[in-house]
Amino acid sequence: MQPAIFLDRDGVIIENCPQYVRSWDDVIIFDQAITALASMSSSPYKLVIITNQSAVGRGIVPINVVEEINQRLVGLIETAGGRIDGVFTCPHAPEDACDCRKPKPGLLHLAAQVLSIDLGNSILIGDAISDLQAGQAAGVPTRILVKTGRGAEQYQLASNLNLEPYLVYDTLSDALTSIINR
C-alpha cells in the first residue's frame, strides 16, 4: 500500500467554469499547476484526480466528453514531465444521493481499493469544503484547501463548520512545495 495525493480537478488544476466545463475549449489550466505536478513526478505518493462532474448527471455533458477532457489534461501533465496515477469521476447529480459524490468519501475509497492506496497516510488537496469533508470522512489525515477556484470564498464559509483542522495554501504549487519540503 502506498499513500496518495488526491487532487480535485476544477478549481485546483483548472479553473472552475460557471456553466460547467463542457468541452476542452472551456479548460483553462492554472499555469503553476502543471509545473507543480511535474515537480512531483518522482514523489513516493500516487497522484490521483478525484472530481465531481454533476453536469453528466444533469444531462449537460456526456460522460465520454468528461473522460476525453480528463485524458487530455493527464496528457498535458505527462508531456510536462509529470504523472497522474488515476482519475476517478463522480458523474452523478446531487439529487442522485450516490456514495461517490464529494462530500461523501466514495471516490477516495474506490481509488484506494483500485490503486492500493493507504488512506491513513494520504493527502487531499481541494478548493471546496466538500473536498475537505470527503477527505475527513475517508480518514485522510492531511487535508489542504487551496485559494484558487472557489477556495478563497470557501475558506470564509468553512469557519462556521465542524471541520477537523486543515491546511490552507494560495495555490496547488504552494501546497505541493510544502509537501516536498516536509
Can you say whether the dihedral through the CA atoms of 169, 154, 148, 118 is positive or negative?
Answer: positive
Count of all residues that appear for the chain in the document: 182
CA pair distance 115, 10, nearest whole angstrom: 22
Which residue is catalytic, options 10, 25, 26, 127?
Answer: 10
| Alpha-carbon torsion angle 87, 114, 54, 18, nearest 10 | -30
Is 99 designated active site?
Answer: no
CB distance 105 to 98 below 8 Å: no
CA pair distance 182, 177, nearest whole angstrom: 9
Which residue is catalytic, options 8, 25, 26, 96?
Answer: 8
Is 8 designated active site?
Answer: yes
Question: Rounded to whole angstroms, what are the CA distances from 118 to 87, 95, 121, 122?
Answer: 17, 30, 6, 6
Grid coordinates representing 138? 475517508
CB distance 19 to 62 below 8 Å: no
List, by residue number, the catalytic residues. Answer: 8, 10
